[in-house]
Amino acid sequence: MIHPDEAVALMASFIREPETETAELSGALGRVMPSAALGGLDQPPFDKAAMDGWAWCPSGDEARPAEPLAIRGVIAAGSGSIDGDRPDEPLGPGEAARIMTGAPLPRGASRIQRFEWAETVDEAGRPAADGRFVRFAKAEGADNVIRRGENARSGDEILSPRVLSAQDVAILAADGRAAVRVARRPVVGVLSTGAELADPGEALSGARIYDSNRPQILAQLASPAFEARDLGRLPDDLDATLAAVRSALDACDVLVLSGGVSMGDFDYVPRALAAAGVVERFHGVAMKPGKPTYFGTTGRSFVLGLPGNPVSVFVNTELLVKTLLYALSGVAYRPLVAPVVAAEAIARRGSDRVEFLPVAVGPDGARAVRYGGSSGIQALAFADGFARLEIGQERIEKGTITRVRLVR
């Protein structure tokens, strides 16, 4: 058996450079940008007001003017000049201009006095709402100006390769981009196997159970970054499995199968994959759940065969399938892993494999949920994530910090 970390590293050794395509920015959320984005302009592109206030220029090192300043006019956001009869002239000594947040700092000005710390007055210095002068009540501790290029310079890396979030879309839009180069979405086909399975909605008979694996995998892979295809359900039949595998490999970058990969009399998946020309890279991972997991390659396609128990399927889809798909898109998968204190001792039976135990996370920390093994998908209704116990580690002691891979 291979260690799960070695399994991830082995999969990575077969990764090729992603193919890219152009996506409109309006549809880029959740897509993978495999190359860094360099800024095309300074941010901001000019010195601008950080707040509503009064633009002015101190004489020497004065913190505020001794006398009221004459009001020249108003500078609106989006305007490059002061309104009034001298729009193109710089602000002169003894003058101030009303300025709005985000408006360019006018020539001749170097500071902004916030609106709340000033009042308009008449020629005699009396407060007047329509006064033609402004008096500052107290000195500012900063100039309240965002300088050109303060946030980013043209040519700077503004985004590293990543899955694009809403804030990333905003950063690209602020750089003037209407589109972005993204990885082509890898096509992942999902097949479930097992004569005992029925599709949800069918009437059950005899010893049949509902297929939860295929809906679960498709739900886990529902993302703008991938194209997940439902390829249906297979009986325990070698010829049918081989035909479905060959068809899937022609159409998909990645094929994921659930069930039929262990040592049972009707586990035909490894034989069908070999007959289809898939080269086995590992079959058996030192992890619990998920020991019989299979990984193989053929041409430009990848195959992951997952055990049939639904918790095994869930864990392996998180640990291996998503890792592979994001790697094919040019980035590392970044699951949310949080340090959490153990609210109670979390123990297990045996320690010969890496084990992922479902836990609930509350105000006092992580607690194990009632869990009867990898066939009991119902336990995940109460789990917020999985605590990882390493080989040789029998328990997580109460009060210690453990890393929980959050899944909700």
Angle at 159 (CA atoms; ends 28, 48), nearest 5 degrees: 100
Question: What are the DSSP E strand ranges found in 245-353?
Answer: 254-258, 279-283, 287-288, 294-298, 301-306, 337-341, 346-347
Cα–Cα distances (Å) from 237 to 181, 195, 202, 246, 333, in that order, read: 43, 9, 21, 14, 35
Write b or e for each residue in 216-240: b if 16 or more Cβ atoms lie within 10 A of its Cβ, otherwise e: bbbebbebbbbebbebebbebeeee
> CA 16 to CA 338: how far, in whole Å?
30
> CA 62 to CA 132: how far, in whole Å?
22
- What letter represents residue 371's amino acid? Y
Cα–Cα distances (Å) from 267 to 174, 215, 246, 283, 355, in that order, read: 54, 21, 17, 13, 24
* Tens-digit pLDDT string for the chain (408 aa): 999 999 999 999 999 999 999 999 999 999 999 999 999 999 999 999 999 999 999 988 888 999 999 999 999 999 888 987 787 899 999 999 999 999 999 999 999 999 999 999 999 999 999 999 999 999 999 999 999 999 999 999 999 999 999 999 999 999 999 999 999 999 999 999 998 999 999 999 888 999 999 999 999 999 999 999 999 999 999 999 999 999 999 999 999 999 989 877 768 999 999 999 999 999 999 999 999 999 999 999 999 999 999 999 999 999 999 999 999 999 999 999 999 999 999 999 999 999 999 999 999 999 999 999 999 999 999 999 999 999 999 999 999 999 999 999
- Following CA atoms 185, 305, 251, 240 in sequence, which dihedral angle do they give, to the nearest 10 degrees? -160
Q: What is the DSSP letter of 277?
A: T
- Dihedral angle sign, alpha carbons of residues 320, 321, 326, 330: positive
